[in-house]
Amino acid sequence: MSRYSMHILVCGGTGCKSSDSDILVEKLKKELDKQGLGETVQVIMTGCFGFCEKGPIVKVMPDNTFYTQVKPSDAEEIVEEHIVKGRKIDHLLYTDPETSKHITDSNRMGFYKKQMRIALRNCGFIDPERIDEYIARDGYMALGKVLSEQTPEETIALMKSSGLRGRGGAGFPVGLKWEFARNNVSDKKYVVCNADEGDPGAFMDRSILEGDPHSVLEAMAIIGYCIGADEGYIYIRAEYPLAIARLKTALNQAREYGLLGKDIMGSGFNFDIGLKYGAGAFVCGEETALIHSMEGERGEPTLKPPFPAESGYLGKPTNVNNVETLANVAPILLKGAEWFSSIGTEKSKGTKVFALAGQINNVGLIEVPMGTTLREVIFEIGGGIKDGKKFKAVQTGGPSGGCLTEKHLDTPIDYENLVENGSMMGSGGMIVMDEDDCMVSIAKYYLDFTVEESCGKCAPCRIGNKRLHELLERICEGKGETADLDRLRNLGEVIKDTSLCGLGQSSPNPVLSTLDNFYDEYTSHVHDKKCAAGVCKDLMEYFILEEHCVGCTACARACPVGAISGERKELHVVNPDTCIKCGACLEKCKFDAVILK
């Protein structure tokens, strides 16, 4: 790398790639060659910078200039103006929404200021397809240190005292999990990385795999050493082609460097990793279901115990950790347990990555210390609600989580606080909603997901969620009755208490938390047959605006049930009792006079 004096880092995450960042890289290279700079300035395609809202992102080093929304057509200007003449390009710089001033240094931007990157430390800094860049940032040093200086017991003790908890959802202490797997005696053990990120709206695992695949491989090898396994598997969604390609490249490079395979670093320790593909089943995020899927079966969960640490893949002791958890391992081993446990809250140590999305200005991937408040995340990092609308709720934890409201905004985020308020950490999806979102339909949306994804093995989840969904559907169609609200709650509690796995045990959370926090929205759907947010179409009525209607009669002629009356060249009126809400009038009207309200 030393022969290059400048680097242009271009985001190669899925979001930016979808906005042609790969074409941008090609154009930048071409322009540099044209200027004869191909040998002195290097263009690197990195992993996700996190600021997806403003993508594609380009960062010029060493002068640390951060460009946003760069198009392939900007390549020429970047090379000619910035690289050759050293002049920063104002219109590509980020504009601070408060001061309206350009900011060149990303560390001074609201989006990055409060962030602290441990799991995402290399995303956006290194070329994920070159192992040398990972090594240059202390990569594989933790593995070397463990293999040469520490016993497995010492390493596990260190992990335990660091306080790292599983980032996949439940937050089980990581060191303890490793210890269980180590203590089970067997001729064969397995290390599994759970990369089956099925939570809609969460993409942190994908970004880590795309942006820093070696951090996962290194951690898996360390676990192999600690529990006494020589074989590992990454179970990854087939829907993530870019992450799969980068993992394959990383695996080959690691083997070539002797960091995977036989006798790693001359220590006598053998470890190699294979890939297993998921095929689109949310329930496979549950570890027993995941293991069945790895064995080529339907991904149905089984009752625990036995835990995978006792009997997992092919009946052997297996340690399953999620991607983000693994990305935290190497820094803890290098910087020490004390450093890690100094970050965060009393029971939740370190940082957490959140995928911030929905009605928010700065959609993206963020990493903050545990204990940061929702207000800081949504309003400081997230830049507040889109189009100046009013904040209504934030849904955390995906389909298993719940909705939190205004009154929770100052609650520090950690595992315990989220559960206490009826939600959960989950994998870290964070969807922000504004005044135009209907909470009843949001609950229905999540139930829709659960019904589709329930594996069908246990009755509470298979049948109960279907009934919950039907109740919500009735309410959204204006056919709900008061007793339905109690039915929702009772049924939800039963499903929670009696389901076999984590999916069913948490699936009623979106319903129960919205019942708790937005009960008046439910009652207005049920009693007044109104949807204040204007989302539930069946609760709205077609209405003709006096100031727009010219009396052309088109709507009356289009109406199949004769619900529209009015003379030619006079205002027409919809009779709500006859109207079947087919929408034919709205479609026919050329004057935008027909509205739904």
Chain residues in the site for other proteins (CB under 8 A): 14-15, 18-19, 52-53, 55, 198-203, 206-207, 238-240, 276-282, 293-299, 314, 355, 357-359, 363-364, 395, 398, 429, 431, 433, 437, 442, 445-446, 449, 455
Output the CA–CA distances (angstroms, integers) from residue 23 to 12, 48, 61, 65, 70, in the order listed.
11, 16, 20, 21, 11
d(CA 411, CA 417): 7
CB of 325 to other proteins, least distance (A): 19
CB of 570 to other proteins, least distance (A): 31
Q: Cβ closer to other proteins: 324 or 437?
A: 437
CB of 588 to other proteins, least distance (A): 15
Tokens for 449, please give them.
């997901």
CA quadruple 206, 209, 210, 211: dihedral positive or negative? positive
CB of 260 to other proteins, least distance (A): 21
Burial per residue of 198-222, b for 16 or more beta-carbon CB atoms within 10 angstroms, e otherwise: bbbbbbbbbbbbbbbbbbbbbbbbb
d(CA 534, CA 519): 17
Q: Cβ closer to other proteins: 79 or 192?
A: 192
Q: Cβ closer to other proteins: 18 or 575?
A: 18
Do residues 456 and 497 make contact, with C-beta atoms less than 8 angstroms apart? no
Q: Cβ closer to other proteins: 343 or 535?
A: 535
Q: What is the separation of C-alpha 102 from the centre of its chain, rounded to a whole number of angstroms?
A: 29
Question: Residue 406, exposed/middle/buried by CB under 10 A (0-12, 13-18, 19+)?
Answer: middle
Q: Cβ closer to other proteins: 39 or 592?
A: 592
Do residues 263 and 270 make contact, with C-beta atoms less than 8 angstroms apart? yes
CB of 327 to other proteins, least distance (A): 16
- Coil vs helix vs strand at 259: coil
Q: Cβ closer to other proteins: 232 or 350?
A: 232
- Coil vs helix vs strand at 95: strand
CB of 92 to other proteins, least distance (A): 17
Across the strands, what pairs with 43? 8
Q: Cβ closer to other proteins: 431 or 544?
A: 431
CB of 54 to other proteins, least distance (A): 8
Q: Cβ closer to other proteins: 12 or 344?
A: 12
Phi, psi for residue 367 in degrees, rounded to 5: -130, 120
CB of 585 to other proteins, least distance (A): 16
Q: Cβ closer to other proteins: 394 or 471?
A: 394
d(CA 216, CA 230): 16
d(CA 26, CA 217): 29
Question: Residue 478, exposed/middle/buried by CB under 10 A (0-12, 13-18, 19+)?
Answer: middle
Q: Cβ closer to other proteins: 134 or 235?
A: 235
CB of 16 to other proteins, least distance (A): 8
CB of 201 to other proteins, least distance (A): 4
Cis before 62? omega within 30: yes
Question: Residue 27, exposed/middle/buried by CB under 10 A (0-12, 13-18, 19+)?
Answer: buried
